[in-house]
Chains A and B, each alone.
Chain A
């Protein structure tokens, strides 16, 4: 799968309260509504700035904090095609794979705001077209590749009726 878009840069330790605040997530299951508030406390205009297919690019420990699956879902419904980070917090990582949001662990130091990126999930590499560099991607564990390929954990369960690794 080849994804194309531009980079939106965030720092390290972006927690799930920043991704989607608790004050919104308890109220609704309408992810299109939640998506409007994604990253609001870090950048109030973020949702307006995103063009479909763009990437969130961050430092280490992206998605630390709560178990809320609304975090990867709000990112996905904001039309972000993938999150690139130096590292991810465990819960966000699992939830993203389960809900079908690609998470890409790679060196993000050479990506700056507005860079045009191309992410090849099959080959496992990120091309920074603006800077003309290729960044290798840390491969996903096989079980997560299986879940992603099945279309998320719900689809995996529909297909097999349980865990099938």
Chain B
């Protein structure tokens, strides 16, 4: 019987052939924790009588969500992570290195066919590299650090086939928002998504990461793509390691198969307070914006910054807008500096903050005031997400965010491209 990408990767890491809905305890290639989840994992590790990590080289702890620390409570938890890393030998990424979902792909330790566990819901991002990667909680992470394994219910898969070329000014962020709006926030719960078709093949790696990243916003466990030349070329920047890609069999069994034609897609916006509350940009165009955010694990990569810089080149953002930029990693920050992107953004009026999660999760770096509207390239717009439940968050592509920063209201970026 044919297998999906998810079934193949989980089989390769198990002692038996597995199919959807079966249970397996699988060997995991890499574990990740961030500063919101690692402290509890360290506590659970101790409660489990954990003495050592099964293989410290395969464990990365990343300080990105609340970095640099905004208060002494956070500082104490960061210190706990640093001490644990020193004691166990696992790799610690300290403040300024970047957001976990950029650093793990940049580590060169994972690639096509890998199985990755992260204590963060957006761990599904690495599906863009054809890795089966999914989020777990802190206790699961602790169990993984001790055993090198994780238990999985093998997910069923929804296959999304996308045809056609994305129009100018329309990006993979618009496509994934459109899909989430249709599937809804729980339409893919416990399932894997496979994204395929010529639209996906035409996407750059940066654009693919955006789509894989948001699979969890449909409830999915993973957002997978096949590996191709672009995948290997991207990985060659970081590693010479050979990987065994997983390709879906022609007779693989899917829970659902959906086909889309993207050639007439327009820029999309997710309105407050739900990620699946999606509409075409013209429905909300003109809504005043107080803060614009460019960055996060969804859209803080070099191409994202470049798109914004192209719109803002020799222009100034609106006087009533705060424009916050958080590059996804130090490496991206450096590349953006070398290319003049950072100069352009800063000249336009941007406040550039430490590479990492930026203001996405409401701990630091730009908490909105009561009644304010924010347009952000992030992946969540829940009430209170950015630290104030009386603010309103709209999600969109880097182009829409940049164009809106420029005009002070939600704006169709196609007017500026």
User: With the chains together, A85 CA to B241 CA distance in Å?
Assistant: 46
Interface residues of B (CB under 8 A from A): 23, 25, 35-37, 39-40, 43-44, 47-50, 65-66, 71, 73-74, 77, 118-121, 123, 135-140, 142-143, 146-147, 149, 151, 153, 185-186, 189-190, 219, 221, 274, 361-363, 367, 380, 382-385, 387, 389
A121 CB–B CB distance under 8 Å: no
User: With the chains together, A143 CA to B140 CA distance in Å?
Assistant: 14
Distance (whole angstroms) from the CB of B366 to the closest CB of chain A: 13
Q: A26-B66, A165-B23 are in contact. Are A153 and B186 (CB under 8 A)?
A: no
User: With the chains together, A70 CA to B49 CA distance in Å?
Assistant: 21
A15 CB–B CB distance under 8 Å: yes
Partner of B362, one of A15, A21, A60, A65: A21
Q: A94-B140, A162-B146 are in contact. Are A17 and B385 (CB under 8 A)?
A: yes
User: With the chains together, A18 CA to B219 CA distance in Å?
Assistant: 17
Distance (whole angstroms) from the CB of B273 to the closest CB of chain A: 9
Beta-carbon contact of A143 and B43 below 8 Å: no
Q: A23-B362, A64-B185 are in contact. Are A163 and B143 (CB under 8 A)?
A: yes
Beta-carbon contact of B73 and A27 below 8 Å: yes
Beta-carbon contact of A157 and B48 below 8 Å: yes
* A-B pairs under 8 A by CB, number: 148
Beta-carbon contact of B40 and A70 below 8 Å: yes
Beta-carbon contact of A165 and B185 below 8 Å: no
Beta-carbon contact of B385 and A141 below 8 Å: no
In chain A, residues 69-126, which have Cβ atoms closer than 8 Å to a Cβ of chain B? 69-70, 73, 87, 89-91, 94-95, 98-99
User: With the chains together, A141 CA to B151 CA distance in Å?
Assistant: 12
A67 CB–B CB distance under 8 Å: yes
Distance (whole angstroms) from the CB of A110 to the closest CB of chain B: 21
Q: Mark A134-165, 1 if CB is under 8 A from B, else 0.
A: 00000001010000000011100110001101
Beta-carbon contact of A61 and B382 below 8 Å: no
Beta-carbon contact of A41 and B383 below 8 Å: yes
Distance (whole angstroms) from the CB of B151 to the closest CB of chain A: 6
Could you give 9 example pairs across A and B, Cβ below 8 Å?
A18-B384, A27-B73, A29-B77, A68-B37, A69-B137, A90-B190, A153-B139, A157-B49, A163-B147
A66 CB–B CB distance under 8 Å: yes
Q: A143-B151, A154-B139, A163-B147 are in contact. Are A91 and B121 (CB under 8 A)?
A: yes
User: With the chains together, A80 CA to B385 CA distance in Å?
Assistant: 24
User: With the chains together, A28 CA to B75 CA distance in Å?
Assistant: 10
Beta-carbon contact of A28 and B121 below 8 Å: no
Interface pairs A-B: 3 shortest CB-CB: A27-B73, A95-B137, A61-B186
Beta-carbon contact of A153 and B143 below 8 Å: yes
User: With the chains together, A17 CA to B35 CA distance in Å?
Assistant: 16
Beta-carbon contact of A22 and B135 below 8 Å: no
User: With the chains together, A28 CA to B74 CA distance in Å?
Assistant: 7
Beta-carbon contact of B151 and A163 below 8 Å: yes
Beta-carbon contact of A21 and B39 below 8 Å: no
Neighbouring A residues of B153 by C-beta, 8 Å: 141
Beta-carbon contact of A13 and B147 below 8 Å: no
Distance (whole angstroms) from the CB of A164 to the closest CB of chain B: 9
User: With the chains together, A15 CA to B25 CA distance in Å?
Assistant: 28
Beta-carbon contact of B363 and A26 below 8 Å: yes
Beta-carbon contact of A90 and B36 below 8 Å: no
Q: A90-B219, A98-B137, A157-B146 are in contact. Are A143 and B23 (CB under 8 A)?
A: yes
Given contacts A22-B65, A23-B387, A61-B186, 16 further A-B contacts (CB under 8 A): A17-B383, A18-B383, A21-B387, A22-B363, A29-B77, A64-B185, A67-B123, A69-B40, A73-B40, A90-B219, A99-B137, A141-B153, A152-B139, A157-B147, A162-B146, A162-B147
Beta-carbon contact of B137 and A91 below 8 Å: yes
Beta-carbon contact of B186 and A87 below 8 Å: yes
Beta-carbon contact of B151 and A67 below 8 Å: no
Beta-carbon contact of B135 and A91 below 8 Å: yes
Neighbouring A residues of B219 by C-beta, 8 Å: 61, 64, 89-90
Q: A61-B189, A95-B139 are in contact. Are A163 and B25 (CB under 8 A)?
A: yes
User: With the chains together, A162 CA to B147 CA distance in Å?
Assistant: 6
Neighbouring B residues of A98 by C-beta, 8 Å: 137, 139-140
Beta-carbon contact of A65 and B139 below 8 Å: no
User: With the chains together, A65 CA to B36 CA distance in Å?
Assistant: 14
Partner of B48, one of A21, A94, A154: A154
User: With the chains together, A22 CA to B142 CA distance in Å?
Assistant: 21
- B70's nearest neighbour on chain A, judged by CB, is A26
- A60's nearest neighbour on chain B, judged by CB, is B186
Partner of B382, one of A18, A60, A73, A162: A18
User: With the chains together, A73 CA to B49 CA distance in Å?
Assistant: 20
A25 CB–B CB distance under 8 Å: yes
Partner of A67, one of B44, B71, B120, B146: B120
Partner of B135, one of A23, A60, A67, A99: A67
Neighbouring B residues of A60 by C-beta, 8 Å: 186
User: With the chains together, A27 CA to B72 CA distance in Å?
Assistant: 8
Partner of A153, one of B35, B74, B140: B140
Neighbouring A residues of B136 by C-beta, 8 Å: 67, 91, 94
Distance (whole angstroms) from the CB of A57 to the closest CB of chain B: 17
User: With the chains together, A22 CA to B361 CA distance in Å?
Assistant: 6
Q: Mark A1-40, 1 if CB is under 8 A from B, else 0.
A: 0000000000001010110011101111100000000000
